[in-house]
Structure 1
Amino acid sequence: MGGRPRYLWVADLLRRPILNGELEPGSRLPSRSRLARTYGVSEQVSRHALRLLVSEGLVEAKPGSGYYVRTVPQIHRFSRTDRTSGSGVDPLGREDLGTCTETACGLVSRRLGMRDGVRVFRTRCLGTADGVPVALHTAWEPAALTQGTLRTPADADPAASVLQRLGAAGVVVDRVVEEVGVRPLREPESSLLHLAPGLPVLVVERTHYQGRRPVETSDLVGSIDHCRLLYRLSLARQPRQG
């Protein structure tokens, strides 16, 4: 082991059978004291090893019961190359939380290229799987684009894409910029997703443009245990050589 901490060595010995399927989801791991006896380490070392596996998402601790191999969560993949450019929470079930008007400020103002205080439509919907919330989609757009028409987010057909709805209002989207990252979960996101504030979540910031003008921006916030982004990129064919 050299100078490597012993808890990492114990964690390796436990991790291997979990990853190769020898220990199935729900299997109970040996207690801290048993691990200490088996591998000739202190209980503190075995505790650190188990906590490391918990932090990696491979093991869960059940108070008063012990440590168990974690059940593999169902993964939901969001296609980011769809022709309609942004399908909200598809392929999940959709629970609309409604559209309201508010004044833009801070980050939303900057993403829409407008000054603070301008009115925007804010639309929210939950993505659910078997009735359980998995992802939250929040979109903002300048109210002036569609106000007074039947093309506002509140009036349009929920099945219509952003491109279809804005295109029908004469706003042609010709560019999309997307940024993906991880950040701590905030309120009221945590209440809607039934997750603890501060947990790391996957965030996709997507902005639609007409020329150089931002016309809609949105956040897709999802559990990192359940959400993946799927990209399919077409590559130009190289011309054949003589």
Structure 2
Amino acid sequence: MQPAYLRIADDLRRQIVAGRLAPGDRIPSRHQLARQYDVSDRVAVEAVRLLISEGYVESRSGSGTYVRRRPAVRRLTRSWYREARGRADSPFRADMEAQGRAGTWRSSSQSDTAPPAVAERLGIAEGDPVMRTHYVFLADDEPVMLSTSWEPLELTRGTSVMLPEEGPHAGAGVVARMRAIGHEIGMANEVITARAITAAEAEELDEPVGSIVMVIQRTYSTAERPVETADIIVPVDRYELSYVIPVE
């Protein structure tokens, strides 16, 4: 049998999703919920805490608990047409320009060793050297998404693109950077999953702990081998993904 606090949270969640409880509406107090669902105050509090952790409601000190106002959902375009042209500018910046927003990012790179999952995606041995780069992407200075990429150092070590955000090709997309050192990317593979946000991601994205994020596992490959893989983290309450795929 479903615990009482989950039953209450489910009912309130359905009302929020359906719009019967709109953004800014105050939800019933714990005493009102306890009477309405015939439970103790403690059970009612547990239900509300769950909804707070999921980002559906927010508590205001001395005032009550209210349905959280969510940002307008925007679109991120995953376009192989654009990627294949290998333009010198970043695909993210181009996407933000199309929306009339300024796309920027913060990044940090360091040499690392490939963990098992990354090694499998890159077709290298676990522990092989890689360049790991972590990004926080911003639109009009608002955090949009996160990305961590890995590139085999056997391909890039000593080249002008070894550090993705330094040198003559800083800020270019992966396709353009790899082309600059003689590796022509011909395929991008993406696997999309969803999970709860981590505490570190919530802090970087200014999202509530308990929010859901999409995880795009992207791998770029030439005809011979994978040359880069990345985990891209996108909050589902802010962005939807649109795919533009060529049909021959």
**TM-score, normalization by structure 1:** 0.73
Look up the match of 2:111: 101
C-alpha separation between the residues in 1 aligned to 2:199 and 2:33? 40
Give aligned-pair identity as a percent. Answer: 37
1:45-89 deviations in Å (ceiling 9; x for gaps): 765765675566543333543221220223232212242168357
AA in 1 matched with 2:83 = T
Unmatched runs of 5 consecutive residues or more in structure 1: 237-242
Look up the match of 1:119: 129
Q: What is the count of residue pairs matched by the alignment?
A: 232
Residue 25 of structure 1, CA deviation? 2.0
C-alpha separation between the residues in 1 aligned to 2:232 and 2:6? 37
AA in 2 matched with 1:143 = L
Task: Assess, with a 3 A threshold, how the Cα gap between structure 1 residues 88 and 113 changes in structure 2: closer, same or farther.
Answer: farther
1:19-49 deviations in Å (ceiling 9; x for gaps): 5656542122332334566x58445576576
Between 1 and 2, higher relative CO (CA 8 Å, sep ≥ 6) is seen in: 2
3-state SS of paired residue (2:175): helix
Look up the match of 1:66: 64
Contact 2:53 2:209 in 1 (8 A): no
Q: How does 1:1-150 map to 2 (within 5 A)?
A: 12=11, 15-16=14-15, 18-19=16-17, 21=19, 23-35=21-33, 39=36, 41-42=38-39, 50=48, 54=52, 57-82=55-80, 83-84=82-83, 87=91, 90-91=95-96, 93-150=103-160
Residue 177 of structure 1, CA deviation? 0.9
Where is the helix percentage greater, Structure 1 or Structure 2? 2
C-alpha separation between the residues in 2 aligned to 1:10 and 1:146? 51
Residue 147 of structure 1, CA deviation? 2.8
Matched, 1:224 2:224: no
1:172-199 deviations in Å (ceiling 9; x for gaps): 1111111111234457545544557776
AA in 1 matched with 2:91 = S
C-alpha separation between the residues in 2 aligned to 1:21 and 1:196? 21
Q: How does 1:165-204 map to 2 (within 5 A)?
A: 165-186=177-198, 189=201, 191-194=203-206, 200-204=212-216
